[in-house]
Amino acid sequence: MFERLRDALRAALDAATPTGDLRELVRQMHEAVVDAKVAVQEMRQALARTDVEVAAERQRLADAERRGRLAAEIQDGETVEVAQRFTAKHRERVGVLERKRAAQQDELALAERDLTEMQAQLHKAELDRPQGGGERSTEQAWRDLQAAGGERPGVDLRDELLKSEMDRAAREAAAERQLEEMKKKLRKD
């Protein structure tokens, strides 16, 4: 995903186009940066979910090992065998989740570097873009507002995340409705 966005930014910066087209390209670059910010945030959330999964699976592994030790102490061979199977299963699952977590961390680091590069390219494009007098003062006012900690409309990451979550919730609700409809149809047959 980030390769496409980065390529779009590079193409925009490399383009030798008239001023009107540069404004459009900067706008597109801005949208790409906002999309990248949302994607990075979603990656962070996925990593956090994986951390929770790893912790839960480690607890299951510890429980299975403890049960195996307790069964061995009372010389319950059947329970020891079952506990060993569960221990092996949970140990394998912990390994898979830890590799997944490492891959997610690597992917997040790459995405964050790409985002930083995209933001730098966007900033350069905004500075290089010729502006009229009124547009220049408006842009400077927005920069001053952002420097003071204010938010520029259309750039708020929280808004973008909320929109993304609402879209996802709507898709999940639609899928749930379709599933219920299919279940009803299957029950009638």
Give 59-66 contacts, CB < 8 A, sequence gap 24+: 60/86, 60/90, 60/93, 61/87, 61/90, 61/91, 61/93, 61/94, 64/89, 64/90
Q: Which tens digits make up the pLDDT trace of 114-171?
A: 988 988 888 887 776 655 545 556 667 767 766 666 666 655 666 677 777 888 888 8
pTM greater than 0.85 (yes/no)? no
Find the mean pLDDT for residues 83-92: 94
Q: What angle do CA 13, 116, 101 make, to 5 degrees?
A: 130
In whole angstroms, give the CA distance from residue 170 to residue 13: 36
Q: How far is CA 81 from CA 62, 63, 69, 89, 179, in A?
A: 16, 15, 11, 13, 40
- How many CB atoms neighbour CB 9 within 10 A? 25
What is the pLDDT, as a whole number, of residue 24? 77
What is the pLDDT, as a whole number, of residue 34? 87
What is the pLDDT, as a whole number, of residue 85? 94
